[in-house]
Structures are given as C-alpha cells and as structure tokens.
Structure 1
C-alpha cells in the first residue's frame, strides 16, 4: 500500500510539474469539443439510429429481434458509441498528461465492458423469453441456466474492469483468486448446490412448471409456478405461496402427480368396512331377491356352473349343506361392485380395476375399491367417487350386509330403549 501511495504521489507531482506555466486554453477547448462530440454522437444514436433500428425490428416477420428490443439489448449497446468517442478522442487532446489520458481511456473501456455485460444479460433474458414461448418452454424451463449465465457474465466483467483499471492481465487476477477459493466456495455455496440440483432436475425431468408436487416436510402441496436457479415457487391449494430452495428437491422426498395428470385418470382407492357378523350364505329367498339384479345375472350363471361341477365331483358333499360350496352375500356383493364399476361410464376401464378384501380387523372387514376415474379434474373426480359410494352404501343392505361404524348417540338410545322394554315387562 505504501508503494502504491508513493506511485500515485509521483504521478500527481509529474502532472503538476508539466502543468506549471502551461496555457490550458487549447486543452480545455479540445476537451470541451470532445465532450460535445460525445454528447452529439449519443444524441444521434438515441434519437435517430436506435429508433430506426427499433422500427425495422417491429416490421420484421421474425420474433427473435422483438424479444431483443423488448429486453433493451439494442438500448444498452447504443451507449457504447459515446464511450468510443471518449476512448479514441482523449489521446488527441493536446498538453494532457499521459497519466490522465490513460485514466480516462481506461475508464471508458471499463464503462464499455460494463455496458456489454448488461447487454449480454439482457440478451440472455431475451433468449429465455423466446424459449418460454415454445411448447417445451413451460415443461423444461432454462431460467436457472440463464441466471447462472448472468452470474458468469458479470463475474467476467468485474474481473475485466478491475484488470483494465489496474493495468494487469485478467489471468493474473484469476491466479490471485486461488487464494480466496475457500471464501468463494463459502459465499457461493447455495449457488453451487442450486446449480447441481438444477442440472439434475432438468436432466432427469423431475419437476416442471405446472406440476402438482407434495413435500410434507416443507408444507408443500400444490402447483409449481416458477423454477429458478436458487428457488422453486409453489402455490399451495389454499393459495399460499411456498418458496423452496432448489437443492431441497434433491435432498428431500418429492411426490410428483404429473404421472396421474398425464395418464388422464385419477385413482380411487377407498374401502367399505363391512360388519363381519352380517356375512352369511345365500338362502333360496335371498337368491331369488338378488336374481333381480341385472348386473349379477352373468355372475349367478357362472357360479352355478362352477359350483355344480365342484359339488358333482364328490356327491356326498351335497348330502349336507355344510360340506358343499355355496354362494355368500359378501361374495355376491363383491361381484356386484365389480360389475357396477365395469359398467360405470366415468370409470377408466383401460386401467386397473378390482374389488378386494383386506385383512379383517376390529373395525370390520375392509372391502376396497381400486379403480381410476376417467378424469384428473379435482372436482369431477370427487363427484365421481362420491356417486359411486353413495350408490354402494344405499344398495348394500339389499345383500343382507351391514356396515361397521362406531355407535353414536342414536344407537345408544336405541339400545337403552330395547333394554327398558323387558325390564318394564318384568316389573
């Protein structure tokens, strides 16, 4: 620092010595003329050249140049013209010390480097805008890469400006940055993590704008509205906005519902809990009653042939009903539900469809429906699911079955009333 201070002091002393006894009239006049010329060039560029270019861009059939104009690329580049006048004209000023010429010239170069960096940044934004207009632009965004590109551009510009001002090669500065590598890694830790995550997300097509994702650990349950380098913005279904660091999508578990949306159907997976005490064999009266159901006609025909064949293999089985195979009300209900779903117009018949029994438990025997609604729209899906179970809940008593549920106040009152009648009679 002491050596640099002494160097600056020596240059100032040299300027003062050269200026002693010098007539500055011509020098100031040429400087004023240079400033006026730079201002005139800037006026011509802003008032004539740039409007002509803008008009030509608007009438052109292509849309790329429109994006460049909208993001100010042409406007930024127009600022280079007066800086060029200053840079090349300052050396023509008479009686101006070489140090001042170099300082002003370097300042003009540094200004042009900054302007070019801003123009390149605007150009990258224009490229992102053009890309997002394409069909793939919303599903595979490049906004994160654009932001990374801007960081690289401004970093290079900063190094270039410093190198110009101190008169050193940029390679020398880059070599010196090695000593600060640990500090840089600490400062740009989130950027590096986000960059790696963005590359993995894009290459593996993990998340797109518009996807419905769930991350319970972060309170995320909604649609992705924006993907950037550092953050991903999600609008939950309660209209709240959650901002998630990009690298958390790699570190945490993410449930993406895009597969459901792309398939055109949404799964219905819900069970009816049947009271196991109501399950029994069909007697003839129940058989005739259920024979009225059109959906069970083929089931009865198929089962009759199957049971007759099985029982005929050992005639002694038919002597006692307990030794023979017989139909049950639960089996018939399961067949009815399957046939009902297969004939339902709003159930996707091209996907998995089954009605299965799960393990019995203290809350009854679960009879699970597993199928897919022929829509992914939330409201329509809920309506289809509700209509199916409305019908099944209403039709289930026809099979002599009961649903299991915890006793409520009405059940308790009915039980107490039933106990009171014998007690009153005994009294």
Structure 2
C-alpha cells in the first residue's frame, strides 16, 4: 500500500498541474465532509442536549436563529486556511489571498453568530411575564451595531493584510463624518435610555400623539422606531427620538387606576329653569333618591325664611327650591348608587358657564372599569336615563332648530294667515 502511494506521488510529480488540481480537490472535499459531519452530527447532538436543559422549550428558537449552523461554517474555513499551504505548486499569492478570505469569513461568521445569539436572548427574555416593563431590544440593537462595526474593521484589515490599529487610527479623522452618519442612531440611543430609565413607555401602553396620527397600543419598541397599532388596526411608526421631543399622552395611569373618567355635559334650555311649586314638589317626592334631599332642603329653607319675619311674606324675598337644583341633586345621588361608577374617585355634578347653546350641566365621575366597550355602555346608559327623566323635573334639553322644527312652524302660521284673509276688513299687502 505504501509502495502504491509512493509510486502515485512520483508519477504525479511529473505532472505538477495535475498534482495541484487533485490536491486542491481533496482539500475542498475534506472541507465539505467536515462541514457535513459538524452540521449533521454535532448540531443534532447539541439540540438534543438543549432539549434536556431548562431552555428546552426554546429549542425551536435556537434552531431558527441559526447560531450553531453559522458556527459550523467556521470548521471548513479553518481547514481551507490551514490546508491551502499544503497544496503543492500553489502560488504564494493565492495562498495569502485564500487565507485572508478565509480569515475574513471566519470573522464575519462569528459576528453573525454573536448577533444571532443576542437576538435569541432577547426573544427568550420577551417571553417573561414582565418583560414589556423593561424591553431590551434597543440595547441589543446597539450591541449588534458595535459588533458589525468591529467585524467590518477586522475584515478589511484581514483582507488587505494590515493591522486593524491602522484603520482605527484613521477613524479619528473621520469622527465628524461618522457622527453625521450615525446622528439618528445616537439620538435614538439617548431617547431609548431616557424612555427606559424614566419608564415613559412600555409595550402594551395606550398612547396618543395627534401630531403623528398615533392613537392606540404600543406593540414594539426598537432602537430607531416605536410601532403603534391604532384603533382602526393601522400601524403608525414613530421615530424613537420624537417620543422625547414632542408631547405624548400615555393612558397607562388610567388603566392602572381601575377607573375611567366620564366628563360630559347636558345642555339645558335656560327658559325651562323655574321654582318648584307645591304640586311639583309632591310629584318629585315619589323619587326614592330625592325623598331625603327634599325633606332636608325643605327644613333648611323654612328655617331660613322664618328669620325674615315681615319680609318673608313676599315670595321674592324667600328661598325656594328650583327644578334644576333638584335635578342636580338627583343626578349626584343616582351616580352614587350606580353599580358601574367608582365611588372612591372624584364624583360631582356641576353647572358650567351659560352659553348660547344652553346651560351646561356637567357630569364628572369615573367608571369602575377601564374596558373600552364596558365604559361606553355605562356612559350611554347613564345619559339615556338622564335624558329620559328630564321632563319629570320640568326641564328641557336645548338644541338648535332643525328643518322639522321650521316646517312645523310654517304649518302653524299658514292656517293663521288663511283665517286672517277670510275675515272682513282684513287685507293683505302684495308685492
């Protein structure tokens, strides 16, 4: 066997080019076999080992990240880098170029494996229940950028066969250019640090930024952008730096408080406001929520009026109960007995400044839920009831005349005009 190998080697020495081609082919075949063995044997063994660890539930993420498969590519590159020098008849220049390319490939592969590992760590971290409180995606992206920058410098230095310190010394003169190129990245980094340290924003928060047409839930916080899914299911992408420099409303406080505010007004017709007479007072005593209020108010007013002596005989000098004050007391007691209203938060019913559109009676309270649909249902039920019960107090809602109102007014005036023309001695002016 040894004699056969020696004879073959002596025969190939007479054909140096063929010897070089065969040796190069064997080197490439060895690199391919090594790559196949590593990927088919070692990778499967490592995945099985991972499944047996506490990270077993993340084995699918490990496979999808291609960390191990990328590291497996280092083996054939090392074989080619070492074996190219053993190929007989290979020019020195080719050997240097192949070694430099293999070294650059190894650097790139390791950099990609490290960045994929960091991405995998972030993916596993986001599976924690409270991961949205402190997202690390922005920091992972910063580290990835640094790794890519260092890998690029090392690859260039390896390909040109120069020390990387020469390239790093040249970066000092390019600092201003690099600052300009990475301006957005640096601003986004500062903004990300401020957002995280001050707890300004979390994944899942409901935010509003009218200037950017953003109104919805935060679904992703990255280094350069924050994605917001609006209520119409559209996605708004906001530059991270603008979250610091522009106004932002975060509804997290409302969601964590357990109550959502109702702040709406009923516009009352001011001409329907009047004092209650005895019949109207008796009528309102039927209301369970008003019985105690009316009795207490009546005693208070009678005690006040008794002190007026002779002046108290004139109704204009006495205090009397108004329908709007009684209605305001009714609304407040109605809210305090409502099962959907939070009783430990601010609750009041107040009159606002009169306007040309009526007298605003504002209801200010909080529901005991923050669910949007339930909140709207409670709010609607309350105002449905208040609008329906207003006539019991002799009050009217103010609204501008509509086309139907004008048509009814015309129908009333037309018969009156016809009757006037039929009376003797009445004439109408024509044009």
Using the size of structure 2 for normalisation, the TM-score is 0.87
Q: Which residue of 1 aligns with 2:34?
A: 41
- Once the two structures are TM-superposed, the CA of residue 386 in structure 1 deviates from its matched residue by 1.1
Q: Per the alignment, do residues 171 and 307 of structure 1 end up closer, same or farther by CA in structure 2, a change over 3 Å counting? A: farther
Q: Per the alignment, do residues 275 and 84 of structure 1 end up closer, same or farther by CA in structure 2, a change over 3 Å counting? A: same
Structure 1: runs of 5+ lacking an equivalent: 1-20
Residue 68 of structure 1 contacts residue 122 of structure 1 at CA under 8 Å; is this kept in 2? no
In the alignment, is residue 84 of structure 1 matched against residue 78 of structure 2? yes
**Aligned counterparts of 2:63 and 2:377: Cα–Cα separation in 1:** 49
Match of 2:316 among 310, 317, 322: 322
In the alignment, is residue 121 of structure 1 matched against residue 115 of structure 2? yes
Q: Which residue of 1 aligns with 2:330?
A: 336
- Secondary structure of 1:352 counterpart: coil
Alignment of 1:40-59 (within 5 A): 40-59=33-52
In the alignment, is residue 404 of structure 1 matched against residue 398 of structure 2? yes
**Aligned counterparts of 1:31 and 1:394: Cα–Cα separation in 2:** 94
Q: Per the alignment, do residues 290 and 421 of structure 1 end up closer, same or farther by CA in structure 2, a change over 3 Å counting? A: farther
- Once the two structures are TM-superposed, the CA of residue 313 in structure 1 deviates from its matched residue by 4.0
Alignment of 1:188-203 (within 5 A): 188-203=182-197
Alignment of 1:98-247 (within 5 A): 98-247=92-241
**Aligned counterparts of 2:417 and 2:16: Cα–Cα separation in 1:** 130
In the alignment, is residue 291 of structure 1 matched against residue 285 of structure 2? yes
Alignment of 1:11-26 (within 5 A): 23=16
- Once the two structures are TM-superposed, the CA of residue 227 in structure 1 deviates from its matched residue by 1.8
- Secondary structure of 1:406 counterpart: coil
RMSD: 2.3
Q: Which residue of 1 aligns with 2:69?
A: 75
List per-residue Cα deviations over 1:8-36 (Å, max 9, x = no partner): xxxxxxxxxxxxx9955665554444333
Residue 139 of structure 1 contacts residue 210 of structure 1 at CA under 8 Å; is this kept in 2? no
- Once the two structures are TM-superposed, the CA of residue 59 in structure 1 deviates from its matched residue by 3.1
- Once the two structures are TM-superposed, the CA of residue 254 in structure 1 deviates from its matched residue by 1.6
- Once the two structures are TM-superposed, the CA of residue 364 in structure 1 deviates from its matched residue by 1.0
- Once the two structures are TM-superposed, the CA of residue 205 in structure 1 deviates from its matched residue by 1.9
- Once the two structures are TM-superposed, the CA of residue 57 in structure 1 deviates from its matched residue by 1.6
- Once the two structures are TM-superposed, the CA of residue 72 in structure 1 deviates from its matched residue by 1.5
- Secondary structure of 2:154 counterpart: helix
- Once the two structures are TM-superposed, the CA of residue 133 in structure 1 deviates from its matched residue by 0.1
Q: Which residue of 1 aligns with 2:11?
A: none
List per-residue Cα deviations over 1:364-417 (Å, max 9, x = no partner): 110000111222222222221111111101111111111111011232233334
Structure 2: runs of 5+ lacking an equivalent: 1-13, 424-431
Residue 229 of structure 1 contacts residue 246 of structure 1 at CA under 8 Å; is this kept in 2? yes
**Aligned counterparts of 2:56 and 2:144: Cα–Cα separation in 1:** 22
**Aligned counterparts of 1:166 and 1:316: Cα–Cα separation in 2:** 113
- Secondary structure of 1:295 counterpart: coil
Alignment of 1:305-320 (within 5 A): 305-320=299-314
- Larger mean CA deviation between 121-130 and 29-38 belongs to 29-38
Residue 58 of structure 2 contacts residue 124 of structure 2 at CA under 8 Å; is this kept in 1? no
Residue 51 of structure 2 contacts residue 57 of structure 2 at CA under 8 Å; is this kept in 1? no
Q: Which residue of 2 aligns with 1:280?
A: 274
- Once the two structures are TM-superposed, the CA of residue 173 in structure 1 deviates from its matched residue by 1.1
**Aligned counterparts of 2:113 and 2:335: Cα–Cα separation in 1:** 61
Match of 2:247 among 235, 246, 253: 253
Q: Which residue of 2 aligns with 1:355?
A: 349
**Aligned counterparts of 1:219 and 1:77: Cα–Cα separation in 2:** 45
List per-residue Cα deviations over 1:282-341 (Å, max 9, x = no partner): 111111011111101121132233323433444344222221222111000000000111
**Aligned counterparts of 1:345 and 1:84: Cα–Cα separation in 2:** 74
Using the size of structure 1 for normalisation, the TM-score is 0.88
- Once the two structures are TM-superposed, the CA of residue 140 in structure 1 deviates from its matched residue by 3.2
- Once the two structures are TM-superposed, the CA of residue 98 in structure 1 deviates from its matched residue by 4.7
- Secondary structure of 2:55 counterpart: coil
Residue 57 of structure 1 contacts residue 69 of structure 1 at CA under 8 Å; is this kept in 2? no
- Larger mean CA deviation between 383-392 and 319-328 belongs to 319-328
**Aligned counterparts of 2:272 and 2:79: Cα–Cα separation in 1:** 97
**Aligned counterparts of 1:379 and 1:80: Cα–Cα separation in 2:** 57
